Structure 1
Amino acid sequence: MKNCLAAIILILSFCSTQLHAQEIDTIPINTKDLNIKLKRSPLPSRQGPLNFEPVKIKPLVVNAKINYWKTRTNIGININQAQFSNNWKGGGTNSVAVGGLVNWKAEYNKNSYSYVSEVVLQYGKIKNKDQLQKKTNDRIFWDNKASFQLSKSWFFFGSVSFESQFDKGFRYYRDGKGDEQQVLISKFMSPGYLTESIGLEYKPVKYFSTRIGTGTARQTFVLDTAVYEKDKKEAYGVDKGKKFKNELAFQIVSAIDKDIFTNTNLKARYAMFIPYQEFKPSKIDHRLDIALTAKINRFMNTSLTGVLLFDTDMDTNKIQANQTLALGFGFTFPR
Structure 2
Amino acid sequence: MFKRFLAIIFILFGFCSNSIAQKTEADTTLIKGLKQSPKKNILPVRRPVLFPEVINPSPIPDLKVKVNYWRNLTLFGINVNQATFSDNWGAGGVNSLALGGQFSYKTDYTKSDKNFASELILQYGKLKNKDQLARKSADRIFWDNKLALKLSKDWYFFGSLNFESQFDLGYSFSRDAQGNEKRTLLSKFMAPAYLTQSFGFEYKPVKHFFVRIGTGTARQTFVLDTNLYKTNPKNFGVTPGQTFRNELAFQVVSSYNKEIAKNLILNSRYAMFANYEKLSSIDNRLDVTLIANVNKLINVSLSGILLYDDDSDNKMQASQTMTFGLVYKLAN
Q: Same fold (TM over 0.5)?
A: yes
| Unaligned ranges ≥5, structure 2 | 1-26, 32-38
Please report how far the alpha carbon of residue 157 of structure 1 lies from its aligned counterpart in structure 2 after TM superposition. 0.4
Cα distance change on mapping 1:308 and 1:69 into 2, 3 Å: same
Partner of 2:268: 268
Contact 2:167 2:189 in 1 (8 A): yes
Q: Tell me which residue corresponds to 1:174.
A: 175
Deviation, 1:131, is 0.3
Structure 1 segment 11-160 matched on structure 2, within 5 A: 38-41=42-45, 44-45=48-49, 55=56, 57-160=58-161
Matched, 1:333 2:330: yes
CA positional deviation for 1:91: 0.6
* TM-aligned CA deviation for residue 81 of structure 1: 0.5
d(CA) in 1 for partners of 2:47, 2:293: 74
Deviation for aligned residue 1:53: 7.2
Contact 1:170 1:185 in 2 (8 A): yes
Q: CA deviation at 1:197?
A: 0.3
Give the TM-score normalised by the residue count of structure 2.
0.85
* Alpha-carbon contact 2:169-2:189 (below 8 Å) kept: yes
Tell me the SS of whatever aligns to 2:79.
strand
- The aligned counterpart of 1:294 is 292
Q: Deviations over 1:49-78 (max 9, x none)?
A: x99979454122113322211111111111
- Aligned partner (choices 303, 313, 317) of residue 314 of structure 2: 317
Cα shift readout 1:14-63 (whole Å, capped 9, x = no counterpart):
xxxxxxx9xx89xxxxxxxxx986533255145xxx99979454122113
Shift of 1:87: 1.3
In structure 2, what residue type is equivalent to 1:44?
Answer: P
Alignment RMSD: 2.2
Q: Map 1:131-280; keep pairs closer than 5 Å.
A: 131-229=132-230, 232=233, 234-280=234-280
| Structure 1 residues 160 and 285, CA gap change in structure 2 (3 angstroms) | same
CA contact (8 A) 1:145 1:159 kept: yes
CA distance in 2: counterparts of 1:43 and 1:324, whole angstroms? 92
Structure 1 segments unaligned to the other structure (5+ residues): 1-20, 26-34
Question: Are the equivalent residues in 1 in contact too, given 2:227–2:241 (CA < 8 A)?
Answer: no
Q: 1:39 is aligned with what amino acid?
A: L
Report deviation, 1:86: 1.1
- What's the TM-score, normalizing by structure 1? 0.84
CA displacement at 1:333 relative to structure 2: 0.7
Greater alpha carbon shift after TM alignment, 142-151 vs 60-69: 60-69
Separation in structure 1 between the aligned mates of residue 326 and residue 140 of structure 2, nearest angstrom = 20
CA distance in 2, matches of 1:320, 1:227: 20
Change (3 A) 1:44 1:264: same
**Matched-pair contact (CA < 8 Å) for 2:292–2:299:** yes
Shift of the alpha carbon at 1:220? 0.3
Q: Tell me if structure 2 keeps the 8 A contact 1:148–1:155.
A: yes
2:40 & 2:156 partners in 1: Cα distance? 88
CA distance in 1, matches of 2:119, 2:225: 27
- 8 Å contact kept, 1:77–1:100: yes
SS at match of 2:291: strand
Structure-2 separation of matches of 1:36 and 1:309: 105
Q: Secondary structure at the match of 1:176?
A: coil
How many Å apart are 1:99 and its aligned residue?
Answer: 1.0
Q: CA separation in 2, counterparts of 1:246 and 1:170? A: 26
| 1:200 and 1:213 in contact (8 A); partners too | yes
What is the one-letter code of the residue matched to 2:274?
A: I
Offset at residue 231 of structure 1 (A): 8.2
Retained in 2: the 8 A contact 1:184–1:226?
no
- Contact 2:184/2:231, CA 8 A, preserved across alignment: no
Which structure has the bigger radius of gyration? 2
Decide which moves more: 316-325 or 63-72: 63-72
Cα distance in 1 between the residues matched to 2:283 and 2:91: 44
3-state SS in 2 of match to 1:236: helix
SS in 2 for 1:297: coil
2:301 is aligned with 1:307: no
Q: What is the CA-CA distance between 1:253 and the residue it aligns to?
A: 0.3
Amino acid across the alignment from 1:94: N
Distance (Å, rounded) in 1 between the aligned partners of 2:217 and 2:145: 14
Aligned positions, number: 297
Compute the displacement of 1:317 (Å): 2.0
Contact 1:256–1:268, Cα closer than 8 Å, also in 2: yes
Identity of aligned residues (%): 49
